[in-house]
Structure formats: C-alpha cells, structure tokens
Chain A
Amino acid sequence: MKRSLFRHRKRKDASRSAAGNISSFLFLVLMGLFMALPIVLSVSNSLKPMEELFVFPPKFLVRNPTLDNYSDLFNLMSESWVPFTRYLFNTVFVTVVGTLGHVLVASMCAFALAKRKFPGAKLIFAVILAALMFSVQVTSIPNYLIMSKLGWLDTYAALIIPAMAKPLGLFLMKQFMEQIPDALLEAARIDGAKEFQVFYKIALPQVVPALLTLIIFCFQDLWNMSGATYIYSEELKTLPYALSQISAAGISRSGVTAAVTVIMMVVPIVLFMLCQSNIVETMASSGIKD
C-alpha cells in the first residue's frame, strides 16, 4: 500500500528499495507530526473554554469547542481606546501599499538587470546579492536614524518604504526574468514599442508566477510587522502590535491569545496555499551561481 504512494520509476526503481521507501515514508510522517502538532494545538486551544485550558492533566484536543475566545477578543478590541477596525485598517493599508510598491519597484529594476547590458549592471547585482547575506538587524540602528532625519518616524512611510527595498524580491525576480526569451522582447522593440511598454506589456505577463511569489513573501513580512520601534501614536499602530498587547496581559487571557495566534496565522497560510504552485515554479530559478 505504502509503496504505491511513491512515484513509479520504471528503470529508476533500481535505486529505490521497498524497505527504504517505507522507512523514508515513516520518517516523513513522524517529522510531519512534529511540525503539525503545535499548529493543531494552537487551533484546539483557541476553541477551548476557560475551564478546559486550566485542567489537570491537560488535554491536547478540545472536548467542548466554543467560539467564546473569539467573541471575547472582539469585545476586548471594541473596548480599546482606538477601535479595532483602525488597527486592522493600518495593517491592511501598510501591507497592500508596501507589497504593490515592492513588486513594481523590484520588477522594474529586475527587468533592466536581467535583460539589458549596461555599465554597472553586474556591480549593482553583486551588491544586492551580498545584501541577502546579512539580516535586517545589522541595519536597524542606522535605519532608525535615517528615518528620523527624513521625518518619517511615526508615519506609515517608516513601515512601507523600507519594505520596498527587500533584496530577496529583487533577486528572485531577476533570476526569473532571465528566462524570458530575448527574441520576444526584440520583436516588440522592432515593432516600435518603447522600453516601458516592452516591460509592462511583454515582460510582466511572462513572469506572473514570480509576481505572485513576491506578493506572498512581501505580504508575509508586512502582515507580521509590529513596527513598534518606528510608530508611537496609538492610532497608527498595526494589528500584530495590538494583539501582542493583549497577549502581554498574561495567563488570564490564554484563550484570547490562542484566538489571536490563529487569526494571524490563517491569512498567510491560506495565501500560500492558493499560490503554492506558482511559488515553487519561481523558486526553481532561485539558484545562486558560484
């Protein structure tokens, strides 16, 4: 039975023993459980009534599921000084504008780097590639200083604009754009298309999988960003920040915290599910040449 789960390779079966197939499947199942159980537990906890959360011995799965935690969350939120919808709006606004900006700016630059040979192109790409090799914390302090010089502290710009410059998006888009056949672009140029028309009429439709991938990756980053370092005004704060304040209230809010966690994780997981095949297609060209 288990063997039929694996792809048949007529001559390839030479390298696949049945015992190996079964043990590798068992290993996958065990690892899969390790990955899945904490997430299942999060969902289960968010449906537990208070008395089930504090019971000895603890139960893994919920016995009497209830949506109380979710309704408690909404009550808590409506009591807050800034309405819940405001936090939601802030996060959605920052996420949407930042994602669109990133996709536009990065794909324009990626198109030129991938399909045009001009002085400096190689150097620019090498520098951007090097930026993949260090994490955001390295630049966090100067970024704060630059933000304050520009007067962007405590504005949406502080969250949106730096997200547009993420090197990962540019890198993936450039690698993917290199597969567009040159002849296609050349034909459009001969027909008299201007360079910008070649970019958005010919090149962009060819790279839809990469566009979706950039959207998902950028969305994940912005959706989970609390931005508390840059934003002081309560009415500009984002959902993750508001939610982290709720969980900070401690043990009495365990149920509500679980509800918050579930809400925050459902959106990126569903989006990833919808675009999965496109993302895998894009990642195929993610390689770094040595």
Chain B
Amino acid sequence: MEEKVKKPEDKTKLFPLLMRYGKLRAKQLGTDMKKNTTAYILIAPYCILFLLFYLIPVCISIGLGFTNFNVLEPPRFVGLQNYIDLFFADDIFLTAVKNTFIFAVITGPVGYFMALFIAWMINDIKNKKLRAFMTLLFYAPTISGQAYIIWKFIFSSDIYGIANGWLMRLGVISQPILYFEDASYCMTISIVVILWMSMGTGFLSFIAGLQNVDRTLYEAGYMDGVRNRFQELWYITLPSMKEQLMFGAVMTVTSSFAIHDQLAALAGFPSVRYCVHTVVSHLVDYGTVRFEMGYASAIATLLFVVMLGCNKLIQKVLGKVGR
C-alpha cells in the first residue's frame, strides 16, 4: 500500500525537475547558438554541399537497397530480396567478393607497409634535394593520371610487348603469353600494378610525420639502450607518429576496397571470366550498364558497411603500436 503511494510522488517530483533542466539546457543552447551565428554562416556552404553529395546519398543508398528500381518506374519495396539474391543467387558477386578480398588483403597491408618503410628509408637520406626527388619518384605513379596504361604495353599479348618480347628472346617461352586472358597471370599483374600506384596520400603523411619526430626522444632512447634501427623504429619513431599511421591506414583501407578503374583499363570490363572482377566492378556494372539501381544500391551499402567496419577495426589495432 505504502509503496503505491510513494511511486507517483517520486514521479511528480522528478518530472518537473527534468522539464526545468531541459528548458534551461535548451535556453543555454539557444544563446550558445546565437552567439555563434558567424560560425554557422562560415560552415554553411560546405555543410550544405556535404549533406547533398555525401550524407543524403548514403541514406538514399541504404534505402534503395531494399527496393527494385530501374529509374523509369518508381522504386518498389522488396525487403531483403536484393541481399538474398546477392549472396545466394549471384555467383559473379561471390567471385567479386573473393577477388576484392584477395586485393584488399594483399595490396592493403603490403602497400601500407611498403609506403611506411620507403618513407622511413627516404627520411634517412641526408641530402635534402635527393630526399625530395625520391619522394616525388615514389609518389609520381599515384598522381600521373592514367599512366598505368603503360602496363598494358609491358604485358601486351603480342610479341612486341616488353615482357613477351624479352622472355621469347631469352628462350623462356616460345609462344607469347596472353597475360590478361589468363586468370592467374591477370590477378598477379593486377596486384603488381596496384602496388605500383599504392603510395598515395598516406605516404606523404608518413614522410611529414617522420620529419617531425622529436629529436630528443632518440637521444633519450640511446640512453635507455636502443641499439638498432628496428628497435628505434618500433619504440620511438612509430609511437610518435601514431596519428599519421591512423591517417595512412584510413586512406589505404578505403582505396584497397575501391579498386576498379585501373583493372577495367588493363584487363577489360568485364574482365575475362571475371578474373579481376571486384565488388566495385559489380556495382558499376549494375548501376551504369544495367540500370538496376536497387540492386546496385544494395552492393554500395554493403561496400559502405565493410569499409567503415574495417577502418574502425584497424584503428583499434593501431592503437596498440609501440606497447
């Protein structure tokens, strides 16, 4: 009996208290926002564009993933059908997942550590001009547009291509190899080309991070018994550039799941027997060739979830560097 009386009493006390607190907070927020009108005006142009071309599209993509949409007719809700089809009825998608996984697992970590080690070695070069030249040399393939086309000449399927021509002259092979028509060659060459252009923005971030490591930390390290360059790297250098390592990781993860353009130019689109067909290739195929926007949106949503998830996971792992 007593308890029944007590409970509503508590509520009547608590509720107005919450209301008053809420009102105060809202008022405070209001004045805070008013004080910062100029700040809101400054961010407005960018934020509107960002909303329009990044945030809203992601929401639309998630929504369209549950529909059947061919642009001509209005989208029709089909529930999880697209996802069910992707995993249980679309063999090519599963091939694409497998290929994307191979590319991501090989070119991601290898590209990342290659960029880190090369930046580290470049940082040891004493001559400033030579250092700048080396940075440019390694970064050039990333920024030189469609220069990857040259690999098509190197691995061309006739006898005039560099690889075939030289192998034949050396007597290793007697017939030209059809590199991009053969699944095993195609995959290997694609990985080489991707690694060739994998330095990216992360590499620049590493170069800059290495230059700014506090020199006195090294001195202290020698006192504490750091004896070789790898100990120095692990205990001093890497922990002091952790933020750049994070940035590089984000750039690498994002780009290693987005591989498509180079492969389409080299191996054709779609590639022979889908040997280097990636998830993005599949997305482009359904989105811009077949105009099955609902299905393509489901692929895009999956890609979005995997990219974000991998990034979060890798940030957790990198948090442990140097410990």
Residue of B49, B145, B201, B227 near A264 (CB, 8 A) is B145
Contact: B226 with A15, CB < 8 Å? Answer: yes
* A199-B42 contact, Cβ under 8 Å, with A5-B130, A138-B58, A286-B205: yes
Interface size on A, residues (CB 8 A): 108
Residue of A133, A217, A244 near B250 (CB, 8 A) is A133
Contact: B149 with A247, CB < 8 Å? Answer: yes
Judge if A106 is at the interface, Cβ distance under 8 Å: yes
Contact: A20 with B229, CB < 8 Å? Answer: yes
| Stretch among B7-15, B28-36, B101-109 lining the A interface | B28-36
Contact: B43 with A35, CB < 8 Å? Answer: no
Specify which of B50, B135, B205, B293 lies most central, judged by the most chain A CB atoms within 10 Å of its CB: B50
* A268-B149 contact, Cβ under 8 Å, with A15-B229, A146-B56: no
Contact: B45 with A108, CB < 8 Å? Answer: yes
C-alpha spacing A161/B46, complex, angstroms? 10
Contact: B287 with A140, CB < 8 Å? Answer: yes
CB-CB < 8 A to A194: which residues of B?
A: 38
* A284-B136 contact, Cβ under 8 Å, with A55-B160, A116-B39: no
Judge if A151 is at the interface, Cβ distance under 8 Å: no
Residue of A21, A58, A142, A290 near B160 (CB, 8 A) is A58
* A109-B147 contact, Cβ under 8 Å, with A7-B124, A133-B307: no
CB-nearest residue of chain B to A115: B39
CB-CB < 8 A to A284: which residues of B?
A: 208-209, 211-212, 244
* A15-B222 contact, Cβ under 8 Å, with A118-B36, A279-B204: yes
Report whether over half of chain B's contact residues are helix, strand or loop; otherwise say mixed: helix
Contact: B52 with A280, CB < 8 Å? Answer: no
Chain B interface residue count: which class?
A: 35 or more
* A165-B52 contact, Cβ under 8 Å, with A28-B122, A108-B46: yes
Contact: B319 with A290, CB < 8 Å? Answer: yes
Contact: B207 with A283, CB < 8 Å? Answer: yes
CB-nearest residue of chain B to A198: B38
CB-CB < 8 A to A81: which residues of B?
A: none
C-alpha spacing A203/B27, complex, angstroms? 32
Using an 8 Å CB-CB cutoff, how does the interface string of A108-122 with B read, 1 for contact, 0 for none? 110111001011010
Judge if B315 is at the interface, Cβ distance under 8 Å: yes
CB-CB < 8 A to A90: which residues of B?
A: none
CB-CB < 8 A to A58: which residues of B?
A: 160-162, 165-166
Residue of A124, A254, A265 near B147 (CB, 8 A) is A265
| Stretch among A66-74, A180-188, A269-277 lining the B interface | A269-277
Q: Taking the nearest CB of chain A, how far is it from the CB of B24, in angstroms?
A: 14
A-B CB contact pairs (8 Å), 17 listed: A15-B229, A16-B124, A20-B229, A27-B121, A31-B138, A36-B140, A57-B169, A112-B42, A118-B36, A132-B250, A133-B311, A247-B149, A265-B147, A269-B144, A283-B207, A283-B244, A289-B246
List residues of A whose CB falls within 8 A of some B CB: 4-9, 11-12, 14-17, 20-21, 24-25, 27-28, 31-32, 34-36, 38-39, 41-42, 45, 53-58, 60, 105-106, 108-109, 111-113, 116, 118-119, 121, 124, 127-128, 130-146, 161-162, 164-165, 167-168, 170, 194-196, 199, 217, 220, 223-224, 229, 240, 244, 247, 254, 257-258, 261, 264-265, 268-269, 272-273, 276-277, 279-284, 286-290
Known: A135-B257, A167-B54. 19 other contacts (CB 8 A): A5-B130, A32-B137, A32-B138, A42-B150, A54-B160, A58-B161, A106-B46, A108-B43, A133-B307, A137-B258, A140-B284, A140-B287, A142-B61, A257-B149, A264-B145, A280-B204, A280-B207, A288-B247, A288-B315
Closest 6 CB pairs of A and B: A287-B243, A265-B144, A142-B57, A109-B46, A135-B258, A118-B36
